[in-house]
């Protein structure tokens, strides 16, 4: 948790109690007013809109949106004369000035709103990278840390009929104690990167719910519904008309109704991504949700979907907008990326290394693509820092809150390539236990460490494996580790009787750059890697999935090689212009073979 000087905290607690509300689930089912579009912005590298010259938080910062009342008054900023940026959208790809920018940008959006009786109002952010301070009409609503999960604030008693001004200070500065920490291999796109909307609800509304099959069951539905408001004691009707389900439940004093019933349902699978309309009806509110029902479990080294062993034919995806670059945010972006994965023959995607926008998981639900969802506990996190753990737990809680009703999401991943240590193990065990508490129905994994037991044997005995359901391992045999053919002689061993997903492998190639199979950066070299990888992977008896690195080229500040990388990681099977490289077809034909194998 980013402690900004006791002074702020004190003033915040004393002056304006934070109105960060419980996350509203399923905003698609709500009456909403979009605040997307052009927002006025002030680029503030020295945070002079927040701190005074003594570097103390100012009560009179840019969040006041002050205007000179007379010719002599000194005001040194003016949102209404400032440039604009599009929301949703990262600032880096909207202005050359901001391409490498890491710091603070202030956003302002004005709006009118006709208040209605017995109605509450929330402002909802799909995501803002990295740290957001949010104000309405000059008053602090609260703050949010983490660039990839949603948050909302209640503004019922703060909104006016006209001339409301919503101001957000977004700071994407990297910090050692943050999640992710200082070093990553993706572009630190800053800004209000996902949609912003006003959400209207009844005075007492259905705030949150989960309706899923019990772990390992194919007909026992369990879950709960949580009301928010004064009338907490209500009857709750859960209906699934298509399955002839209509059940009545009652909330307890805290507004929660536990749900349990048996149902004969068509189960969700990649081959048949069946979604049911589920109606949750309270006396004061009702929501409609589209939910798929499927059971998930492991048995030895098998992963079972609806009781059947499956192989996860996957690919990794970064949230890089297809064809235009920048942070992806729309349904169209999601459909394009997932359609390319489908074209590859994938039934699974690893959304790396952070929660992607909600359109990705909802389209995966519709398209029948299983999802590995991950929080950015990446490389060398500050394991011993309790605030870092709290932050990671919070991001985990928020992504599970948002996506817990998505049948497509099958794996929660708590880490990527984190170095062995006791502090790391303690940290990750805490996250795993927390995830199981929040959601006992899904599988837990991580991209763990592995090592050479001898020159031709890779051993998976990372102590983390004991606490996971599915083992994940990244390896770059043929790129960072030797030449492509090195994979031929490699054997894989594991200390655990658990399924393995090879969560990364591959190499860089610039589309259209050709040469012999041993010339780096050529499509032929990448193709060569995939050919040798596939023959190695086929020999691993406990392998139950693969997600090579990566579907498309993506921007990274760690990749400057001129004429080849130019700040793009070129390990994509598809270029940043949507062009398929030779390796794409090598993987496509293996996945076809797997699909057709009985």
Using CB under 6 A as the criterion, which residues of the chain lie in contact with ligand GCU when the complex forms?
Answer: 185, 353, 416-417, 474, 504, 549, 569, 571
CA distances to 23, 502, 533 from 35, rounded to whole Å, are: 18, 41, 47
Which residue from 339, 352, 308 is spatially nearest to 472, judged by alpha carbons? 352
The 8 Å CB, 24+ separation contacts for 97-101 are: 97/43, 98/43, 98/190, 100/557, 101/43, 101/45, 101/190
Q: Are 105 and 91 in contact (CB under 8 A)?
A: yes
Minimum CB distance to ligand GCU, residue 556 (Å):
7
In whole angstroms, what is the distance from residue 340 CA to residue 481 CA? 28
Minimum CB distance to ligand GCU, residue 473 (Å):
10
Closer CB to ligand GCU, residue 132 or residue 321?
A: 321
Which residue from 251, 249, 209, 200 is spatially nearest to 230, judged by alpha carbons? 251
Closer CB to ligand GCU, residue 159 or residue 381?
A: 381
Closer CB to ligand GCU, residue 171 or residue 417?
A: 417
Closer CB to ligand GCU, residue 26 or residue 474?
A: 474
Chain mean position to CA 180: 13
User: Tokens for 385?
Assistant: 């820092």
Closer CB to ligand GCU, residue 405 or residue 413?
A: 413
Match 């990839």 to its residue by tokens.
148
Please spell the DSSP secondary structure of 528-595, one letter per residue. HHHHHHHHHHTT-TTEEEE--S-SB-EE-TT---TTTTTTEE---SB-TTSPBPHHHHHHHHHHHHHH
Closer CB to ligand GCU, residue 92 or residue 416?
A: 416
**SS3 for 299?**
strand
User: Tokens for 326?
Assistant: 């920048």
Closer CB to ligand GCU, residue 108 or residue 318?
A: 318
Closer CB to ligand GCU, residue 15 or residue 561?
A: 561
Burial class (CB in 10 A: 0-12, 13-18, 19+), 128: buried
Which alpha helices (DSSP H) does 328-385 contain, by range?
A: 331-344, 358-367
Minimum CB distance to ligand GCU, residue 354 (Å):
11
Which residue from 111, 228, 106, 88 is spatially nearest to 158, judged by alpha carbons? 111
Minimum CB distance to ligand GCU, residue 437 (Å):
27
Closer CB to ligand GCU, residue 469 or residue 475?
A: 475
Closer CB to ligand GCU, residue 63 or residue 383?
A: 383
Minimum CB distance to ligand GCU, residue 508 (Å):
7
Chain mean position to CA 66: 36
Minimum CB distance to ligand GCU, residue 320 (Å):
12
In whole angstroms, what is the distance from residue 265 CA to residue 274 CA? 9
Closer CB to ligand GCU, residue 202 or residue 548?
A: 548
In whole angstroms, what is the distance from residue 255 CA to residue 225 CA? 8
CA distances to 461, 520, 543, 572 from 564, rounded to whole Å, are: 37, 10, 33, 13
Minimum CB distance to ligand GCU, residue 560 (Å):
14
The separation between the first and the last C-alpha atoms of the chain, rounded to the nearest angstrom, is 50
Closer CB to ligand GCU, residue 144 or residue 571?
A: 571
Residues in CB range of 276: below 8 A, 6 or more apart: 240, 242, 243, 265, 290, 291, 292, 293
Minimum CB distance to ligand GCU, residue 587 (Å):
16
Chain mean position to CA 36: 20
Closer CB to ligand GCU, residue 136 or residue 349?
A: 349
Closer CB to ligand GCU, residue 329 or residue 354?
A: 354
Q: In the bound complex, which residue of the shown chain has the CB atom lying closest to ligand GCU?
A: 185
Cis (ω within 30 of 0) for the bond into 130? yes
The strand pair at 568-569 and 554-555 is best described as antiparallel
Minimum CB distance to ligand GCU, residue 416 (Å):
5
Minimum CB distance to ligand GCU, residue 451 (Å):
15
User: Tokens for 387?
Assistant: 């605030």
In whole angstroms, what is the distance from residue 299 CA to residue 302 CA? 5
Minimum CB distance to ligand GCU, residue 438 (Å):
25
- Residue 573 phi/psi, 5-degree rounding, is -85, -15
User: Tokens for 392?
Assistant: 């990671």
In whole angstroms, what is the distance from residue 402 CA to residue 149 CA? 8
Minimum CB distance to ligand GCU, residue 559 (Å):
8
Minimum CB distance to ligand GCU, residue 482 (Å):
15
Minimum CB distance to ligand GCU, residue 506 (Å):
8
């Amino acid at each position: 948790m980013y402690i900004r000087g006791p002074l702020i905290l004190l003033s915040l607690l004393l002056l304006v109690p934070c109105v960060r509300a419980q996350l509203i689930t399923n905003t698609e089912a709500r009456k909403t007013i979009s605040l997307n579009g052009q927002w006025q912005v002030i680029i503030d590298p020295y945070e002079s809109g927040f701190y005074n010259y003594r570097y103390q938080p100012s009560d009179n910062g840019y969040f006041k949106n002050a205007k000179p009342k007379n010719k002599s008054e000194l005001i040194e900023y003016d949102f209404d004369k400032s440039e604009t940026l599009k929301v949703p959208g990262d600032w880096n790809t909207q202005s050359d000035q901001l391409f490498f920018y890491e710091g603070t940008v202030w956003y302002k959006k004005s709006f009118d709103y006709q208040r209605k009786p017995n109605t509450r109002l929330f402002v909802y952010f799909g995501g803002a990278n990295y740290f957001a301070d949010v104000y309405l009409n000059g008053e602090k609503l609260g703050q949010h840390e983490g660039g990839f999960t949603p948050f909302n604030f209640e503004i019922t008693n703060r909104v006016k009929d006209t001339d409301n001004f919503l101001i957000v200070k977004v700071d994407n500065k990297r910090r050692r104690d943050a999640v992710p920490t200082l070093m990553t291999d993706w572009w630190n796109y800053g800004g209000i990167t996902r949609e912003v909307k006003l959400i209207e609800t009844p005075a007492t509304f259905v705030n949150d719910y989960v309706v899923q099959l019990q772990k390992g069951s194919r007909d026992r539905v369990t879950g709960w519904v949580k009301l928010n408001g004064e009338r907490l004691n209500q009857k709750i009707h859960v209906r699934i008309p298509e399955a002839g389900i209509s059940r009545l439940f009652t909330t307890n004093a805290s507004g929660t109704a536990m749900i349990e019933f048996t149902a004969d349902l068509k189960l969700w699978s990649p081959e048949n991504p069946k979604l049911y309309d589920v109606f949750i009806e309270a006396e004061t509110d009702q929501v409609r949700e589209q939910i798929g029902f499927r059971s998930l479990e492991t048995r030895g080294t098998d992963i079972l979907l609806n009781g059947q062993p499956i192989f996860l034919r996957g690919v990794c995806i970064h949230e890089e907008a297809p064809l235009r670059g920048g942070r992806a945010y729309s349904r169209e972006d999601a459909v394009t990326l997932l359609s390319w994965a489908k074209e590859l023959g994938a039934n699974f995607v690893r959304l790396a290394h952070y929660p992607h926008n909600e359109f990705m998981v909802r389209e995966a639900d519709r398209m029948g693509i299983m999802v590995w969802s991950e929080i950015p506990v990446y490389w060398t996190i500050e394991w011993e820092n309790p605030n870092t753990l709290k932050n990671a737990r919070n991001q985990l809680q928020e992504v599970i809150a948002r996506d817990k009703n998505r049948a497509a999401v099958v794996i929660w991943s708590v880490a990527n390539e984190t170095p062995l240590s006791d502090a790391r193990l303690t940290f990750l065990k805490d996250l795993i236990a927390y995830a199981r508490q929040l959601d006992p129905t899904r599988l837990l994994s991580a991209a763990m460490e592995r090592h050479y037991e001898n020159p031709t044997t890779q051993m998976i005995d990372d102590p983390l494996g004991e606490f996971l359901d599915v083992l994940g391992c990244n390896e770059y045999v043929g790129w960072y580790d030797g030449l492509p053919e090195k994979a031929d002689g490699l054997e894989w061993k594991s200390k655990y009787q658990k399924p393995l997903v090879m969560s990364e492998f591959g190499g860089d190639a610039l589309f259209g750059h050709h040469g012999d199979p041993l010339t780096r950066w050529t499509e032929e070299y990448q193709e060569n890697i995939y050919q040798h990888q596939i023959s190695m992977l086929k020999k691993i008896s406990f392998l139950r999935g693969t997600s090579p690195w990566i579907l498309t080229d993506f921007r990274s500040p760690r990749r400057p090689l001129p004429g080849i990388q130019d700040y793009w990681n070129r390990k994509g099977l598809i270029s940043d212009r949507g062009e398929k490289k030779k390796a794409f077809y090598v993987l496509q034909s293996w996945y076809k073979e797997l699909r057709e194998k009985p």
